Amino acid sequence: MRCLKLTIVLLVVAMNPQWAEAEHNPLLPRPQKVRYGSGRLLVRDLGICFGSPASLEDRFAAAELSRVLNGRTGIEAPIWESHGQGAGIILTRTAGVDPLPMPDEPPGPESREAYHLKVTPSGAEIRGRSSAAVFYGVQTLRQLVEGEGEQAFLPEAEIDDWPSLAYRGAMVDVGSEGAMSTEEEIKSQLDFLARWKVNQYYLYNEASIELAGYPLLNPEARFTQEQIRRIIAYGRERHIDVVPCLELYGHLHDLFRIEKYSDLADSPHGGEFNPRNPKVMPLLSDWIDQFAKLFPSAFVNIGFDETWQIEQAAKEQGAGATPTKLFLQQLNNVARLFEQRGKRVMAWGDIMVKYPDIVAQLPSGIIAAAWCYDPTPDPEYKRWLGPLIAKNVPHVVTTGVNNWAEISPDFNTAFENIDTFLAAGRKSGALGLMNTLWTDSGQNLLRQCWPGLAYGAVAPWQSTPVERAKFFSEYARQMYSPAIAPEVAQALEDLTQSESALRKIVGGSTTQAMWADPFIPVLLKTARKQREDLRKTRLLAEDAEEHLDRALSMGGNPTSLDSLLVASRMLDYTCMRYLYAIEITDAWERLHTQKEVPKSLRPALGGIYDETHSRLVDLMDRVTELRRIYRANWLAENTPYRLGRALGRWDAEYEYWRQVQERFRAFAREYKEGEALPPFDAIIKAR
């Protein structure tokens, strides 16, 4: 009878693997095959050893695993040269080192990145063809650890795992359009991305990398070539290929604003190269040679997106217009020069798909980065993929974390974009996915985006869709201790819903709404109609703040939590300023329309403009405090470049409310008993 019961239990587990998985930590990305047993392996007695001759990459993976286990148990896991010295975790590489993705790399169970992980009560092994496979097995093993301290253990398990797509990239604008990340911050990003098995990091550059012979080009806002080399080496250790993501047609105002180079633009101090100018290709040839030598990656993204002159010409004259031909000529010339230096060329796909006649004339083998950052009614994304599919152009789907115009990243939109565009890309035969972070608003804190980066890494590894409803909870359980994880998960959910709600209320960018004058009639009218929605949105932001405060007080990592706290307070403040605008104008209108003129303004309006405990003072207090913590978080991630411009917004916001307060006070001082009140605009617009 006992044997029969055991057989039944095993059958139930075999038929319901999710039931068994639910008893253990969630794994992100979710492995292709997972089987759990009933045993466990205590971590405290384990060492780490090699089942094959160890390369530098294998030793790095071992050291990384030792560091992680030490963090969970407080006991250092020794690294042995070979097994036999005790219970161990064996790292076995069965073929070449092959640390980075290369052109035409296949995914799947026979791929370079596939690994086998087995944990038994007597030991564990990670086995893979390459050093990357072993490293990815280490990332999964760290997620398996359950319990804390000396009671920490690995559950008995057997995992076979491989990527469903060969290329899983993150593109980060680290200094071209917004703040300039520090070298250490980029390394933190690489550490974070490695946890989720990203294998490409596209370092976006317009003019923020040192180039020999161009001392005038952003001297205060560029990475030295030595810094870039260190970043590349840091990524390689973590099996992430640092790929140059360049702009070699448009988006180069930083070059053309220099008088020496202004005549290379299509218009004085413009934004795009003028291909007719014979000086253009010699300059680009020099740049290409320097970039090709600096970045060892087999890949390069040459840009060629959002070329407004080309778009205008094509709209007015058709795709055969001379500007379009010049665009293609420069695209082919730039691609050829990189190909001669052994690079596989990629370019943004927006111009290609808007004017499909271009597609047939693209350089052979070029990879199109088809980008769309919002979910679409068309589940196949035909507008962005159709022309590429028709001409068999290799492509990757390019999604966005939706942070560039938002106070807090709009994860609802981002996750839907990733899920749906990726699904379309799987049908179209996409080579991979590139998930992007842009900094258009100039005030973005990129650490707020980490959950979106993780989602964009997990999705293209898995064969099955990410369980979106569980993601924040599962992500938090991997990033934080069991006590802290629920607080962070709820904070992320509240922040996401608050941002989405505010975006819906204002009908667009929440960043713009934060700085807009709330007394503008159209904005005030909108706020009045959605007063209760603003209140609910503010309550969500405050709830997020409470959860984040608790997580930090319990020892949560400030690196990943402080910027989220800033986001919660900025969302709260934005709703507050619109609600206060309603209350201020309501109070004035009540006095303005009542039959008896007031003897004194202070009883009715003091709560608006008094020096203490008034709405305008509340707003000034919030602005000064937000400015302080925003500045601290900026400098935790970035160099001081463009900080002054960002802080100028806070200073202007404070000054605006101070002036409104002064106008109320001046009117109150001059008001004489029995006088009729003027319209509210007369006070706000007074000088």
Domain CATH code at residue 292: 3.20.20.80
In a domain, 554, yes or no: yes
Whether residue 642 is found in the same domain as residue 662: yes
CB 467 within 8 A of CB 430: no
Backbone angles phi, psi at 416, to 5 degrees: -65, -40
In a domain, 77, yes or no: yes
Q: Please report where in the chains the tokens 């964009």 appear, as a residue.
A: 456
pLDDT digits 0-9 by tens, 153-200 = 999 999 999 999 999 999 999 999 899 999 999 999 999 999 999 999
Strand partners, 146: 153
Q: Is 22 helix (H, G, I), strand (E, B) or coil?
A: coil
How far apart CA 68 and CA 145 sit, in angstroms, is 10
How far apart CA 156 and CA 119 sit, in angstroms, is 5
In a domain, 479, yes or no: no
In a domain, 360, yes or no: yes
Whether residue 143 is found in the same domain as residue 181: no
Gyration radius from the chain CA atoms: 29
Give the residue numbers spanning the domain of 448. Answer: 167-466
Whether residue 451 is found in the same domain as residue 498: no
Q: Is 35 exposed, middle or buried (0-12, 13-18, 19+ CB in 10 A)?
A: middle
For residue 16, give the CATH number of its domain: 3.30.379.10
- Could you say which residues of the chain have pLDDT below 50? 1-15, 17, 19, 687
How far apart CA 239 and CA 105 sit, in angstroms, is 15
Whether residue 368 is found in the same domain as residue 513: no
Which positions ≥6 away from 558 have C-beta within 8 Å?
Answer: 552
pLDDT digits 0-9 by tens, 419-461 = 999 999 999 999 999 999 999 999 999 999 999 999 999 999 9
How far apart CA 338 and CA 11 sit, in angstroms, is 57
Cis status, amide bond into 26, omega within 30 of 0: no
How far apart CA 541 and CA 561 sit, in angstroms, is 14
Whether residue 266 is found in the same domain as residue 410: yes
Q: Of 643, 612, 641, which is closest to residue 630 (Cα–Cα)?
A: 643
Tokens of 598: 């007031």
For residue 678, give the CATH number of its domain: 1.20.120
Instruction: Please provide the DSSP assignment of 48-90 as one string.
Output: EEESSPPPHHHHHHHHHHHHHHHHHHSS---B-SSS-SSSEEE
Whether residue 184 is found in the same domain as residue 154: no
Whether residue 593 is found in the same domain as residue 608: yes
Q: State residue 2's pLDDT score.
A: 42
> ∠ CA 610-613-619 to the nearest 5 degrees?
90
> What crossing angle do the helices spanning 485-506 and 411-428 adopt, rounded to 10°?
90
Whether residue 216 is found in the same domain as residue 311: yes
Q: How many domains does the chain have?
A: 3
Whether residue 187 is found in the same domain as residue 152: no
- Eight-class DSSP state of 215: T
How far apart CA 615 and CA 606 sit, in angstroms, is 9
CB 208 within 8 A of CB 172: no
Whether residue 427 is found in the same domain as residue 545: no
Q: 397-411 burial by CB neighbour count: b if 16+ within 10 A, else e?
A: bbbbbbbbbbbbbbb
Whether residue 180 is found in the same domain as residue 324: yes
How far apart CA 222 and CA 229 sit, in angstroms, is 14
Q: State residue 5's pLDDT score.
A: 44
Whether residue 588 is found in the same domain as residue 603: yes
Q: Is 478 exposed, middle or buried (0-12, 13-18, 19+ CB in 10 A)?
A: middle
In a domain, 442, yes or no: yes
In a domain, 289, yes or no: yes
